[in-house]
Structure 1
């Protein structure tokens, strides 16, 4: 092989080797932050703080009172006395049914009472006269018994007529359909001129609005935890709607069902919230947070620092000589992005960023981050970032 051909053959190989060397150098610089140095990671000290555990649930809002308004007498609807969707108070008229037939029945019952009363008075007078003649043997005992029976029958007829009058007056009262509870009305399902029967159809629906219930299902473990509390009911509950941040509304737990659902191993619970402002509408989805009692000291780490190694949870600790140490932990409650853990001591440096660059038993270059009052790491300023320019003086800006 000539020198010229040998040079042509080695040139591509030399170029490939140089490119590979440059690529390895760039990869090493990106992985280790320096030529051949340990990879950089961000660490933050585990923090001890007072912890109050809580549980979060999804809930649906329901009104304490939901009433289907139905007619209690049959007749023709004369008028709708409310505006659909408006707030009404208990006893306010909603519908008016033609009551002329019921008023006529009242008059007939009053006439029957008068006739029965007259009959009873006559029977009483006949019995009194007959009893005066008993001593003279002018009437027989049989006649006396018949007169007494006639008096009792007349008095019974009078009571029957009085009962019929009460019923007739009730029908007149029922012809004015009123709100059974205070709350907000639905739409009117009938219009004037329609004939309605007793109980059919549903004229409208009224739901109470001064309070609202939040129903949610709790697991068996949660139920047992709160049953150990001295006062499982009346526990404070916080709630947030789907368009709200956090849990701005406070209520109380007022009901826990008497048995668990064996199919789901859960139990139904209810919290009550004030709704005088009309903010909550039945049927809305809500998030509720149930506090778990007293506080206790606990060690917290950022939730993102916890990783999984097949069957266990662990965090990566930077130990002596900046060597990575895997530490199995038992995670607890999640509070403001911080996870309560068992297995880590306060002050130990936990890797929070760069977990993929850290290997157990290998060294790293830790960058210790500052933490806020809750223990959450504060992101470090980006290297090389220029500070924001100061605003120009007013005089210079005017020029």
Structure 2
């Protein structure tokens, strides 16, 4: 009897094992493919936010510059050599304070000369008055002629006129002496001395220094034509007002290094015409500067508020997509399908966009997961979310307080 061969040596055994292994591998592969196909066919989950109309006080932002209410280029009224600089550069000076002194000696000599001329004129008038009185007493007795009386009357009138001229000359000389002390015409901060001791200061020509007032200050800014027309339309929509569309509106102001608009003021001036070259109109806001944080020339951001609340639709800025020159959002429609809505958007408010057209209240706008929507009409699984930005807009914001 022959021994049985090993299993591995039986004919066809190797082929049967190989076929079995392939069947198992194919079965496992089919299971994985089925799972992947099911995952791919499931609609993607997206976060949606309902569009809600808000009644808010809209505002516009403009660029402006700080200006002083009063600004003076200080020049002397008389000529002479500077004898003293009587202030510290950059300090606050009071109205009437002496800042520069011009050599007074020539003007005091002129005043003494004018006083002497005045004394002479008074003596001449006294003599003329005495002669006229004597002549008037003698003319009745026919002791003097009428011609002599007329002459004395003319002499007295001329001496009186000379006396008035001498008095005016004294006043002018006193004024010139007072002008040798160059005083601050306003209260404010003085700049550097542009002329120092020993230099010749020419009357009405030499610039000695500059003075600017500090509290309050002005902020000048240019309002574009569209904004002006919108504010003007608001005014006409409300009850008739006597002031301009922008004048008396409240503003917030922020400096270049500040976040937001921490300072408040009011618009107190609007120019009488629009600049056709730039399409803007000049406006001015007035605000307090008690802490001296504003100096003329600083850049300022101006936030101008409207006079009444407006109903607007807001959508999270993340939901707005761009297709060339068009803006659009995805809205979950019937059957949980993502529908494309072309929209016209306005300004940004607290991370949200004003939608001027293309949406209506109640629309479910896709905010999260828009990258999972590959074509309009794609099925989605909506999930309502509440973002921080949706709660950041105050329906009826409190207007800024008016600056005193």
Please give the alpha-carbon distance, in whole angstroms, between the structure 2 residues aligned to 1:161 and 1:217: 56
1:179-258 to 2 correspondence within 5 Å? Answer: 179-228=184-233, 229=235, 230=241, 231=243, 232=245, 233-258=247-272
**Cα-Cα RMSD:** 2.4
- 1:364 aligns to what? 380
Find the partner of 2:363 among 338, 348, 353. 348
Q: Does 1:280 align with 2:294?
A: yes
Query: Structure 1 length as normaliser, TM-score?
Result: 0.81
- 1:11 aligns to what? none
Please give the alpha-carbon distance, in whole angstroms, between the structure 2 residues aligned to 1:288 and 1:168: 51
Change in 2 beyond 3 A, CA 1:227/1:147? farther
Please give the alpha-carbon distance, in whole angstroms, between the structure 1 residues aligned to 2:249 and 2:39: 56
Change in 2 beyond 3 A, CA 1:67/1:347? same
- 1:48 aligns to what? 53
SS of alignment partner, residue 214 of structure 1: strand
- 2:11 aligns to what? none
* 2:352 and 2:389 in contact (8 A); partners too: no
Q: Which runs of 5+ in 1 are unaligned?
A: 1-24, 378-399
- 1:90 aligns to what? 95
Following superposition, the deviation at residue 33 of structure 1 comes to 12
Following superposition, the deviation at residue 376 of structure 1 comes to 6.0
- 2:304 aligns to what? 290
Change in 2 beyond 3 A, CA 1:86/1:291? same
Please give the alpha-carbon distance, in whole angstroms, between the structure 2 residues aligned to 1:216 and 1:376: 28
Q: Which runs of 5+ in 2 are unaligned?
A: 1-32, 236-240, 394-404
* 2:84 and 2:102 in contact (8 A); partners too: yes
Which has the higher Rg, Structure 1 or Structure 2?
A: 2
Please give the alpha-carbon distance, in whole angstroms, between the structure 2 residues aligned to 1:33 and 1:214: 65
Structure 1 stretch displaced more, 152-161 or 41-50: 41-50
Following superposition, the deviation at residue 240 of structure 1 comes to 0.6
* 2:350 and 2:389 in contact (8 A); partners too: no
- 2:280 aligns to what? 266
- 2:27 aligns to what? none
Following superposition, the deviation at residue 37 of structure 1 comes to 3.3
Following superposition, the deviation at residue 138 of structure 1 comes to 2.5
Q: Deviation digits for residues 274-313 of structure 1, max 9, x if unmatched? A: 1121000111111001111111333211123223445654
Following superposition, the deviation at residue 131 of structure 1 comes to 1.6
